Amino acid sequence: MLVLPKGVRHIPGYLDRDAQEELVADIRAVVAAAPLFTPAMPRSGKEMSVRMTNCGALGWVTDRALGYRYQATHPVTGKPWPAIPARLLEVWDALSACPRPPEACLVNFYADTAKMGLHQDRDEVDLDAPIVSVSLGDSCLFRIGGTSRSDRSVSFRLDSGDVVVFGGPSRLAFHGVDRIYPSTSALLKSGGRINLTLRRVGARQACAM
Ligand code: MD6
Ligand code: FE
């Protein structure tokens, strides 16, 4: 049996097919207002293979000049991010054990060959709050280790409708997406995978973990 690191909770099939379809419609509206952009690594300017956008008061962005950061506006349109869909706030309320609402929701879109290298999410101040992650569309192989890059890691498959809650001693665990399994879901008409991560960003607040 696969043992996940402490603080990581994987809830397979948390969202049923109807809820997934409704959420995809919500995300299409977010993308219409805040188009996907291609993020670039700080300094090197190397482009990431995922495309991104955000909803919420703050959005996570990165580019060569200014690096990783949260900001209140879309880097291309300059407009504020659209609101986080109510359906996603419900997922946060049900699973985060954090009484404060998420301030940011990062939307990652993976085409068939996209992946995400091992990283920590550490641009937030409120590390007491977990990150709640929702997967839609094609499945992926997700990897998570410890708080050092060289720690042993485990990988497992995330399918459409799965939710991962990532907090406590694993809030700063290294994790990434090794690969997408193309054509494993019919949810998205043109294929690919969407990952939504709900985050607290600002000042620390107590959360019952
Ligand atoms: C992904 N997820 O599933 C990438 N980060 O596509 C993340 O980078 C992530 O799932 C923080 C917490 C949960 C996550
Ligand atoms: Fe992450």
Whether residue 209 has pLDDT greater than 60: no
In tens, the pLDDT along 29-76 reads 999 999 999 999 999 999 999 999 999 999 999 999 999 999 999 999
Ordered by start, the domain boundaries in the chain are 8-199
> Which ligand 1 atom is nearest residue 50's CA?
6
pTM of the predicted structure, to 2 decimals: 0.95
Mean pLDDT confidence for 6-14? 96
Instruction: List the residue whose alpha carbon is closest to atom 12 of ligand 1.
Output: 131
Token pair in block for residue 52: 């991104």
How far, in Å, CA of 201 to CA of 121, rounded?
A: 11
Looking at residue 202, what is its pLDDT? Answer: 85
Q: Tell me the CA–centroid distance for residue 198 and ligand 2, in Å.
A: 10
Q: Enter the tokens of residue 104.
A: 């940011």
Q: In the sheet that 154-158 helps form, which strands lie side by side, from edge to edge?
A: 116-119, 175-181, 139-144, 154-158
What does the pLDDT average to over 13-26? 98
What is the whole-number distance in angstroms between the Cα of residue 197 and the centre of ligand 1? 6
Instruction: Report CA(142)–ligand 1 centroid distance (Å).
Output: 8
For the chain, what is the mean pLDDT?
95
Mutating to test ligand 1, I would choose from 131, 140, 165 the residue with most ligand atoms within 8 A of its C-beta, which is: 131
- DSSP strand pairing (104-110 vs 193-199): antiparallel
Q: Say what the pLDDT of residue 206 is.
A: 67
The Å distance, Cα 106 to ligand 1 centre, comes to: 9
Report d(CA 160, CA 194) in Å as an integer. 9
Q: Phi/psi at 110 (nearest 5 deg)?
A: -110, 120
- Measured CA to CA, the distance from residue 133 to residue 164 in angstroms comes to 5
8 A C-beta contact, residue 194 and residue 136: yes
Question: Maximum Cα–Cα distance for the chain, whole Å?
Answer: 47
pLDDT for res 2: 87
CA–CA distances in Å: residue 175 to residues 94, 107, 157, 160, 191: 23, 17, 13, 19, 23
CA distance 107 to 60: 9
Token pair in block for residue 9: 């909770």
Query: What confidence tens digit (pLDDT) does each residue in 114-158 have?
Result: 999 999 999 999 899 999 999 999 999 999 999 999 999 999 999
Euclidean distance between CA atoms 18 and 44, whole angstroms: 42
∠ Cα 138 143 144 (to 5°): 135
Instruction: Kindly state the DSSP code that residue 79 receives in the 8-state scheme.
Output: P
8-199 CATH fold = Jelly Rolls (2.60.120)
- Identify the pLDDT of residue 208: 59
Q: What is the pLDDT of residues 146-196, one digit of tens each?
A: 999 999 999 999 999 999 999 999 999 999 999 999 999 999 999 999 999
The minimum-distance atom of ligand 1 relative to the CA of 193 is: 6
Which residues approach ligand 1 with their CB closer than 6 A?
108, 116, 121, 131, 133, 142, 164, 166, 175, 177, 195, 197
Q: What is the mean pLDDT of residues 99-113?
A: 97
Residue with CA nearest ligand 1 atom 6: 195
